[in-house]
Amino acid sequence: MDFPSELVRLISAYQPIDLRVLRDDISGLENQISNLRTEITTDKEWKRDFQSKLELQAKNIDKLLAGLDEEKENRLAADKVFADQLGDLKTMQARTETQGKTSQTLYVALVSIILTFLLTAVISFFVAWLVTRK
C-alpha cells in the first residue's frame, strides 16, 4: 500500500501545535474576560453611583425651587406690608394736613371772635362816650 506522495509530504512536514502557545492564548483570553467582567462591574457601579448622585441633585434642585417659592412669597408679603404702611402714612399725612387746615381755620375763627368782641366793646364804649358827651 503506497500512500500518495502529497500525503507523505504533509505528514512529514507536520509539526504538532505547541501546547505552551495554546496555553498562553487561553490565558490571554481568560485575562481579557476577567478584565471585561471587571469593566462591566465597574460600569454598573458607576451607573448606580451616577444614578444616586443624579437623584440627590434632583432633590437639591427641588429644595432650591421650594426655597425660591418661599422667598417669592415672603417678598410679596413684605411688599404688601410695605404698601399698606405707605398707604397708612399717606392717610395720616392727609389727616395731618386736614387737621392743620382745621386748626388754622379754628385759629382764624377764634381770632375773628376775639376781634369781633373787642370791636364790639370798643364801639360800645365809643357810643357810650358819645352819648355821655351830649
CA 99/CA 104 separation, integer angstroms = 8
**Residue-averaged pLDDT of the chain:** 86
Domains of the chain by residue range: 15-103
> Which band of pLDDT confidence, cut at 50, 70 and 90, is reported for residue 44?
confident
- Give this prediction's pTM: 0.42
Rounded to a whole number of angstroms, the distance between the first and last alpha carbons of the chain is: 196
Q: What is the pLDDT of residues 45-70, one digit of tens each?
A: 888 888 999 999 999 999 999 999 99
DSSP label of 15: -
CA 117/CA 123 separation, integer angstroms = 10
Q: What is the pLDDT of residues 87-122, one digit of tens each?
A: 888 888 777 777 667 778 888 888 889 989 898 988
Residues with Cβ within 8 Å of 96's Cβ and at least 6 positions away in sequence, in order, are: none
CA 77/CA 69 separation, integer angstroms = 12
CA 101/CA 70 separation, integer angstroms = 46
Q: What is the dihedral of CA 77, 80, 86, 92, to 10 degrees?
A: -100
